[in-house]
Structure 1
Amino acid sequence: MSTDESASGKGRAVTGTAWAVLLLGLWLWGRDLTEGTGGHAASAAGDVAAVGRPLLQVELPDAHRPVAGVRPRRLDIPSLGISAPVAPRGLDAHGAVDPPPYEQPKVVGWYRDGARPGARGVTLLVGHVDTRSKPAVFYGLSSARPGERVKITGADGSVTEFTVDDVQVFSRDKFDAKKAYGPRKDGRAELRLITCGGTYDHAARSYTANVVVSAYLTGAVQAPAGTATS
């Protein structure tokens, strides 16, 4: 991505035809992400709890105004024990978000043509739930609960903090892409953390659901003085 493209892309939400293509791609994403895996089909067992138990009502902080946003470098969710590098990703040949390769199961993918963390719009982060033999970066994502914090460190050292406000498991046969990935409130900087869920269908070679954790910007710390913005 060129410098000009990078600057103009800050804070931009996906719109029009690109948004429609992305929504379709996100629906397809779960299959592409899990194609050929399933070694830990029980890894999504937490989804049952997420669906069958009402989420606790907690007092959530006010939203922070959107900021310029920079390319993400690292994701931290202390309550879930997640600390992982973030790599920019695009769409694959089928129009689905291209997750990190299986050789990098502990890396989170950022959809680089969407909003940057902290910018107005929806930032999309995707990750594997497992590999053939072990849990991957978003293995415990369905255990997230409203009020928990998500910290993203930018390439320039800046930090944006998000607060989880919703956790949903969408079955593949009743999937509403706009509800899952569209903005929950206009004008906010929002975040979606996405992985596969449900159970692994060996015949279809895919999981039966997607876990979608929604969060919104509640804090921002600028980069240290003299640090170049990326």
Structure 2
Amino acid sequence: MAVPTRWVVVAGIVTGFAMFVLGGPHDDTESAAPPRRASSVVPERIDIPALKIRAPLMKLGLTDEGDVELPPFDRPSTAGWYTGSAVPGDPGASVIIGHVDTKAAPAVFFRLRDLRAGAVVKVLRSDGRTVSYRVDSVERVPKERFPAERVYTEDGLRLVTCGGDFDWSRHEYRDNVIVYASPADSA
């Protein structure tokens, strides 16, 4: 389920271009804006009532190869928030990743493929705010056609796991299941 480095780089370039067009420097005499300060607010838990999921979230970065990290297999009931994405409730794409299963049992996003449009997904943040999203769509895509630009640059919450047929020769699923959700109301 790892996302290739080139897609993360493409997503960063697209995001940077969008930021430049929408509010960045417009001539050579202006200096570039300082990098955005890292927020101390992080997502702590995801709740998906329709699937009876209530899971803690951990931070995920990039591997040495440049792929997005995955939660460890020894923590199958934990999902992870990709720190290169927006904090849920802030503008931008927020990406949460979880395993579908382990060698021994189902994992946190085992039933993610069963989520339907209109379902509510809530994310509890470290500042005490709960951000709600409504599911727009759920899709299953082959890993080699992972829609990185849509996942990493468009506003909203993205939930990602593995799915489809299992490729025994590569020891991985052939597809990804991706949930796209838009902001609803926040508490």
Q: TM-score range by the shorter chain?
A: 0.7 to 0.9
Query: Please, which moves more after superposition, 151-160 or 134-143?
Result: 151-160
1-structure distance, mates of 2:48, 2:63? 27
Q: Please name the residue that 2:16 is paired with.
A: none
2-structure distance, mates of 1:109, 1:22? 19
Contact 1:21 1:95 in 2 (8 A): no
2-structure distance, mates of 1:174, 1:73? 30
Q: For residues 146-185 of structure 1, what are the structure 2 equivalents within 5 Å?
A: 146-183=117-154
2-structure distance, mates of 1:18, 1:76? 28
Against the structure 1 CA distance between its residues 71 and 85, is the aligned structure 2 distance closer, same or farther, given a 3 Å change threshold? same
Q: 1:206 aligns with which of 160, 164, 172?
A: 172
How far 1:180 moved relative to its partner? 4.3
TM (normalized to structure 1)?
A: 0.63
User: Is 2:114 the counterpart of 1:143?
Assistant: yes
More strand as a share of residues: 2
User: Is 2:98 the counterpart of 1:127?
Assistant: yes
Structure with larger RCO (C-alpha < 8 A, sep 6+): 1
User: Is 2:20 the counterpart of 1:20?
Assistant: no
1-structure distance, mates of 2:87, 2:11? 16
1-structure distance, mates of 2:80, 2:153? 18
Q: For residues 1-230 of structure 1, what are the structure 2 equivalents within 5 Å?
A: 19-20=8-9, 70-183=41-154, 188=155, 190-221=156-187
What is the SS of the residue equivalent to 1:142? helix
More helix as a share of residues: 1
Aligned residues: 156
What is the SS of the residue equivalent to 1:212? strand
1-structure distance, mates of 2:144, 2:85? 26
Paired amino acid for 2:46: L
1-structure distance, mates of 2:129, 2:113? 27
Contact 1:69 1:117 in 2 (8 A): no
Q: Please name the residue that 1:48 is paired with.
A: none
RMSD: 2.1
Structure 2 residues not aligned, in runs of 5+: 1-5, 13-38
What is the SS of the residue equivalent to 2:50? helix
Percent identity (aligned): 38
1-structure distance, mates of 2:83, 2:143? 25
Contact 2:94 2:152 in 1 (8 A): no
1:199-224, CA deviations, whole angstroms, 9 ceiling, x for partnerless residues?
11010221110000000111112xxx
1:57-85, CA deviations, whole angstroms, 9 ceiling, x for partnerless residues?
xxxxxxxxxxx993101100000111100
